[in-house]
């Protein structure tokens, strides 16, 4: 495998979504308080939860599901699976990409998993610092990574099979991006 792009980029569509939902998902997020059980602790404040700010009249992400910076891959898969299930419930075959004007997209819009705010270059002015820190951290754990097209990427998708890959990805992501926002 040549270059491997960072998982779940902003505006994810089509085949990448299928890979994500299938569980061969890529690079994103240490579960806070789940003790490795794979369950989300909704009582823990998310680093990615948008806060109400004075003077802000409308939040375009209000009511949407947002992936937390500290979510593990099992949590992320569950969110994508719920969105995929909703699309199927609204008539989109599992092997098809819904049309841009599909009623299913509108019906399932609120459960489309948005990336953590810290991982959104439009929301985080220090995003590129986080990307460089992420690459350094992953490389320090033996997971060969590079900066690619403004995002972090693994040199080989085979790295996902390394022991403790998800643990290191989550640790590195929290460490690299939680201090950049």
Give the pTM.
0.62
Confidence (pLDDT) at 180? 53
pLDDT in tens, 36-81: 333 444 433 333 333 333 333 345 566 789 999 999 999 999 999 9
Say if residues 143 and 168 touch (Cβ distance below 8 Å): yes
Tokens of 121: 């270059």
* Domain ranges (residues) in the chain: 14-41+63-177
Q: What is the mean pLDDT of residues 142-160?
A: 93
Confidence (pLDDT) at 37? 38
Q: Which residue(s) pair with 42 in the sheet? A: none
The CA distance from 70 to 33, in Å, is 10
Q: Would the pLDDT of 161 be above 50?
A: yes
Q: Which residues contact 100 (CB under 8 A, 6 or more apart)?
A: none
Say if residues 46 and 113 touch (Cβ distance below 8 Å): no
The CA distance from 126 to 105, in Å, is 31
The CA distance from 27 to 4, in Å, is 10
């Amino acid at each position: 495998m040549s270059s491997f792009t960072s998982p779940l980029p902003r505006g994810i569509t089509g085949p990448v979504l299928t890979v994500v939902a299938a569980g061969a998902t890529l690079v994103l997020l240490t579960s806070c308080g789940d003790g490795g059980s794979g369950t989300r602790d909704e009582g823990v404040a998310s680093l990615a939860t948008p806060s109400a700010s004075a003077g802000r009249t409308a939040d375009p992400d209000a009511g949407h599901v947002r992936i937390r910076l500290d979510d593990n891959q099992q949590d992320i898969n569950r969110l994508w699976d719920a969105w995929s299930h909703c699309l199927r419930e609204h008539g989109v075959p599992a092997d098809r990409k819904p049309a841009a004007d599909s009623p299913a997209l509108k019906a399932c819009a609120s459960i489309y998993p948005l990336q953590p705010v810290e991982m959104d270059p439009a929301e985080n002015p220090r995003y590129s610092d986080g990307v460089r820190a992420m690459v350094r951290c992953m490389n320090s754990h033996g997971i060969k990574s590079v900066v690619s097209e403004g995002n972090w990427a693994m040199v080989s998708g085979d790295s996902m099979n390394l022991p403790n890959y998800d643990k290191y990805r989550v640790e590195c992501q929290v460490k690299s991006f939680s201090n950049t926002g």
